[in-house]
């Protein structure tokens, strides 16, 4: 996540709203990298829901 | 570096964000001039109507022309070729789309030849590595207009880095080869000249292809050298007597065929060729030799060598793509290869003559002593900047400084050397400062190391001394100023018969000589004063 957004630190309260670098394009890069890292497939609807750190974690948990 | 990118799809994940500004999708209305370079990276859109798509592709050609007309012509402009990532036609004879794509690509390639600064990059070199269903990830395409699968981003970035190096003409300069089981199959010392595997059927055939490929590499300006533990006489015989051998003595710029450790040999090769260890690639079938070089000389690139001869061609391709591809071979590169090869032929010639003098006669050396003029002045200045080894005073001059010295009445000559193996070009210069009517002083005397070892430096200096004498000078002053690199010239003026007048700090030596008598010059040189 740090690499994707080019920031030094990602806190657990990070979201698309409070992180400037977390734009729609890099959101997809994040999704693609999560798919690779956890060897899973995310549906477009699921990707759209992962708007903050907690939801990303919840989504990954539901998939693993 | 600020780059402006023209595009019609989302490509930010590929080229990144740092220093990049992207046009709108298929938007050429803004062509900024305050950038360092431009990139044109269009992709063939997805459209089932191939006739409509062909028309759209045709319009890209006009758009590219418009953008080029508006762009700053002094800035690099990189055009990536169009690749149809999703070929879809209803009928087998529908070629309109593929023709439109070819037409765009030929147009772009032609622009790159006609307009300085325009570079053409073949994007299919990247896409052809992947299956069609890997190239596009439809989920991400529909979410973000990204045609190239985001999972290929790292591969793409790796490929693109190499392309940027190619465009900067960065590559390794020299490929150093082992012989047994590397350049040919088998061991020369055991199998004999006709027993080694080269030519004929497999495995000899694989080594023939490999040697032909290496020959092409050398024709593209990469220096080949040999580092082998062998008897040099056996190898010379193999080169001369085995008719299947493609690469022969003259294709190698330097040889280390002996029994010393290869790390020492590699260092000697780097010195002889006057290149850095970091511009060398070392090939050897023996893993322990490779390990030695990796340990002792970490700057040298040491790729693994294929186990089987049939793997040599794909190995060659990966070598080229990883280390030796550049955007274009300049005429300078080609000349360099020729010059190194001419040197190799001269060395071979030298071996045939018993005395140095008969060798020099056989070379038919032509020396043209040319007064400095507007044509050779840039080269003269360049030599003062670049020459380190045979350079008595190592004074660096810019072009306009040399021009000013000429205006002040200095005599400046350069020397063009050729022999029956080729023309070495302007490779020496001398700067004479008039002190008074009778006295002159040598400010600068230098020779390119390419032409050393043939007594040319002495013949050149003596010719100029005779000219000075004809001009009425009777006394000559000269100096040797030591540097870390010019030790070989420390006693040059002693050898020329000059008298050491005094020594300065740091080992500087100041000389004097009278110009009363004519200097005799060995007549194995054909000297003209122009």
The domains located in chain A, with CATH, are 2-63 (1.10.1200.10)
B444 and B489: one domain?
A: yes
Per-residue pLDDT at B500: 94
pLDDT at B180: 94
Domain co-membership, B242 together with B318: yes
Please check whether residues B161 and B216 belong to one and the same domain.
no
CATH of the domain at B471: 3.40.630.30
Total count of domains within chain B: 3
The set of residues, in sequence order, having a beta carbon less than 8 Å from that of A59 and lying 6+ positions away, is A42, A46, A49, A50
ipTM above 0.90, yes or no: no
B435 and B409 co-located in one domain: yes
What CATH number is given to the structural domain containing B119? 3.40.50.1110
Q: What is the span of the domain harbouring residue B94?
A: 3-167
In a domain, B182, yes or no: yes
For the whole model, what pTM was predicted? 0.60
Same domain for B10 and B149, yes or no, is yes
Would you say B174 and B340 are in contact if contact means Cβ atoms under 8 Å apart?
Answer: no
Last residue of a domain, one of B167, B186, B210: B167
> What is residue B73's predicted lDDT score, i.e. its pLDDT?
87
Residues of chain A with Cβ-Cβ distance to B136 below 8 Å are none
d(CA B146, CA B141): 5
Q: What is the per-residue pLDDT for A23?
A: 85
Residue ranges of chain B whose pLDDT lies below 50? none
Q: For residue range B159-216, what is the model confidence (pLDDT) as tens digits?
A: 999 898 888 878 899 999 999 999 999 999 888 888 999 998 999 999 999 999 999 9
Length of chain B, in residues: 530
The pLDDT score that the predictor gives to residue B363 is 82
Residue B148 falls inside a structural domain: yes
CA–CA separation, B507 vs B291, rounded Å? 43
Report the pLDDT value the prediction gives residue B221, as an integer from 0 to 100. Answer: 86
Chain B residue with minimal CA distance to A25?
B144
B245: domain CATH number is 3.40.50.1000
The pairing of beta strand B223-229 with beta strand B174-177: parallel
Q: Which residues of B touch A23 (CB under 8 A)?
A: none
Same-domain status, B426 and B400: yes
Residues in chain A with CB shorter than 8 Å from the CB of B151 are: 32, 35-36
Q: Which residues of B351-379 are buried (b: 16+ CB within 10 A; e: fewer)?
A: eeeeeeeebbebbebebebbebeeebbeb
For residue B373, tell me if it sits in a domain: yes
Q: Do A29 and B10 touch (CB under 8 A)?
A: no
Where chain A has pLDDT below 70, the residues are: 1-8
Residue B357 lies in a domain: no
For residues B437 and B521, membership in a common domain is answered with yes
Tell me: do B182 and B325 sit in the same domain: yes
In a domain, B371, yes or no: yes
Q: Residues B161, B180: one domain?
A: no
Q: Which residues pair with B308 in a beta bridge?
A: none
Among the partner residues B13, B143, B146, nearest to A44 by beta-carbon distance: B143
**Do B408 and B478 fall into the same domain?**
yes
Closest-approach residue (CA) in chain A for B144: A25
Predicted local confidence at residue A6, as pLDDT: 66
- pLDDT at B171 (0 to 100): 86
- pLDDT number for residue B347: 67
The model's pLDDT over B133-168, given as tens digits with 9 standing for 90+, comes to 899 999 999 998 889 999 999 999 999 998 988 888
CB contact under 8 A, B142 and A47: no
Does one domain contain both B315 and B415? no
> Nearest-CA neighbor of B243 among B186, B187, B209, B198?
B198
Kindly state whether residues B206 and B272 are assigned to the same domain.
Answer: yes
B260 located within any domain? yes
């Amino acid at each position: 996540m740090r690499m994707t957004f080019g920031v030094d630190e990602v806190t657990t309260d990070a979201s698309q709203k409070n992180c400037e670098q977390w734009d729609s394009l890099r959101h997809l890069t994040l999704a693609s990298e999560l798919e690779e890292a956890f060897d899973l497939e995310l549906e477009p609807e699921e990707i759209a829901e992962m708007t903050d750190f907690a939801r990303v974690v919840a989504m990954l948990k539901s998939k693993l | 570096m600020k780059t402006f990118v023209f595009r019609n799809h989302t490509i930010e994940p590929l080229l990144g964000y740092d220093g990049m500004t992207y046009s709108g999708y298929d938007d050429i209305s803004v062509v900024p001039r305050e950038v360092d370079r431009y990139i044109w990276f269009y992709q063939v859109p997805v459209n089932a109507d191939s006739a409509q798509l062909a028309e759209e592709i045709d319009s890209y050609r006009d758009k590219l022309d418009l953008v080029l007309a508006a762009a700053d012509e002094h800035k690099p402009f990189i055009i990536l070729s169009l690749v149809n990532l999703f070929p879809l036609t209803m009928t087998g004879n529908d070629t309109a789309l593929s023709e439109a794509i070819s037409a765009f690509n030929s147009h772009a390639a032609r622009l790159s030849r006609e307009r300085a600064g325009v570079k053409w990059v073949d994007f299919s070199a990247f896409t052809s590595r992947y299956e069609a269903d890997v190239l596009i990830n439809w989920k991400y395409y529909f979410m973000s207009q990204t045609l190239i699968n985001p999972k290929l981003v790292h591969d793409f970035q790796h490929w693109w880095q190499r392309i940027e190096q190619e465009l900067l003409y960065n590559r390794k300069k020299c490929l150093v080869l082992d012989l047994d089981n590397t350049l040919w199959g088998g061991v020369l010392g055991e199998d004999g000249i006709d027993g080694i595997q080269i030519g004929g059927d497999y495995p000899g055939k694989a080594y023939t292809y490999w040697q032909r490929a290496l020959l092409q590499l050398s024709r593209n300006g990469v220096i080949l050298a040999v580092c082998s533990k062998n008897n040099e006489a056996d190898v010379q015989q193999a080169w001369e007597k085995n008719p299947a051998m493609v690469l022969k003595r003259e294709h190698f710029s330097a040889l280390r065929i002996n029994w010393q450790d290869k790390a020492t040999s590699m260092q000697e090769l780097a010195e002889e060729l006057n290149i850095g260890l970091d511009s060398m690639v070392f090939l050897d079938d023996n893993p322990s030799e490779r390990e030695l070089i990796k340990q002792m000389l970490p700057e040298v690139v040491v790729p693994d060598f294929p186990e089987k001869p049939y793997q040599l061609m794909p190995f060659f391709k990966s070598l080229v793509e990883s280390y030796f591809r550049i955007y274009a071979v300049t005429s300078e590169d080609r000349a360099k290869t020729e010059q190194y090869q001419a040197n190799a032929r001269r060395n071979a010639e030298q071996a045939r003559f018993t005395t140095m003098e008969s060798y020099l006669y056989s070379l038919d050396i032509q020396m043209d002593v040319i007064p400095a003029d507007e044509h050779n002045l840039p080269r003269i200045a360049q030599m003062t900047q670049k020459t380190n080894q045979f350079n008595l005073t190592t004074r660096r001059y810019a072009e306009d400084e040399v021009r000013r010295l000429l205006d002040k009445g200095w005599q400046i000559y350069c020397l063009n050397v050729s022999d029956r193996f080729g023309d070495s070009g302007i490779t020496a210069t001398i700067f004479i400062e008039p002190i008074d009517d009778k006295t002159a002083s040598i400010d600068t005397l230098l020779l390119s190391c390419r032409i050393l070892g043939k007594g040319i430096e002495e013949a050149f200096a003596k010719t100029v001394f005779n000219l000075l004498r004809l001009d009425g000078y009777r006394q000559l002053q000269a100096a040797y100023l030591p540097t870390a690199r010019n030790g070989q010239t420390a006693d040059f003026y002693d050898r020329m018969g000059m008298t050491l007048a005094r020594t300065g700090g740091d080992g500087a030596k100041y000389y004097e000589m009278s110009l009363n008598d004519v200097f005799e010059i060995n007549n194995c040189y054909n000297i003209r004063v122009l």
